[in-house]
Each structure stands twice: as C-alpha cells, then as structure tokens.
Structure 1
Amino acid sequence: MKQKITQAGYKDIKVFKVSGSCYEIYGYTKEGKRAEVYFNPVTAAVVERNVDGEEAGEKEHEKGEH
C-alpha cells in the first residue's frame, strides 16, 4: 500500500495508520502541499483528501468507509 501511495505522488509520509476501514496518511503532495488522505485498503482509491490551500477538502466518501 505504501508503494501505491508513493506512486500516486504522495511523499514524505509522516504518519501511516489504519483509521476505521481506511488507510490514513499525513504527508505531502508532489507539489509540496501538506496532505491528509484516506485510502480504500483494497483498491488504494482516495476516499477523502484534504490538502493545504484547497477548499474544504475533496471528499469521495463511501458510506461507512472511515
């Protein structure tokens, strides 16, 4: 999973943990912005993404994901 997240462009991951039924990371985007991202543990799809400088975060919640 860490490799998939790195391939998606996230770097300098400081925290990698399980939150509910999702993987949660705190790190940086390839543009260097701080990011908090929740990933589906099976598909590695982004479930929720909060990036500094973006409006209120991009949410792609599936019911009960985290």
Structure 2
Amino acid sequence: MIKNYLRSAIRNITRHKFISFINIFGLTIGLTCCMLILLYIVNELSYDRFNTNAKDIYRVTRSFNTADGVQT
C-alpha cells in the first residue's frame, strides 16, 4: 500500500515539476520559520537558568512620575 503511494507521489512530482517545486519550497520555508521561532523561544526561556538559584532571581523595576504627570 505504501509502495503505491510512493510510486504515485513520484509520478506526480516528475509530471508537475514547477508545482511540486513551489510546494516543497513552501514547506521548507515554513519548517525553517517554525524551527527558528522555536529556537528563539527556547533561548528566551532558558535565560539565567545556568545559575543554581535561578528560581530565586527576580527583576525589580521602578517608575517615576514627573511634575507634569509623565511616567518615566
């Protein structure tokens, strides 16, 4: 059964070369984008994980209001 599917896929690829190229190229671009996004997310989530006390690291911020009411 799988042999028949592979045979018909190869026939369609050889008959419709341009359309097959567009489909394979689009699939390649899509997978590449997904992998780059995944690598970026993994990198951002692993920030400061090398520290033994990584769960105890916090970010402290402070905002100031000027006399005009503008927040900096």
| Greater share of residues in helix | 2
Larger radius of gyration: 2
Which TM-score applies when normalising by structure 2?
0.16
Tell which has more relative contact order, 1 or 2 (C-alpha 8 A, sep 6+).
Answer: 1
Which TM-score applies when normalising by structure 1?
0.17
| Greater share of residues in strand | 1
